[in-house]
Amino acid sequence: MPQRVAVVTDSNSGIHAAEAAKLGIYCVPMPVLIDGADLL
């Protein structure tokens, strides 16, 4: 089975949302909240 790779960065990377979308980069907003926990 082929493996898939994704490029992910956070919103502090300096990459604008439009540029990230154009390049296929996923941008996660900071801070990240998972199950109510604030993960910086």
Whether the full predicted model's pTM is greater than 0.75, yes or no, is no
1-40, pLDDT tens digit by residue?
789 999 999 888 889 889 999 999 999 888 877 888 887 6
CB 9 within 8 A of CB 29: no
Tokens describing residue 1: 């089975």
Question: For residue 20, what pLDDT is reported?
Answer: 92
CB 6 within 8 A of CB 26: yes
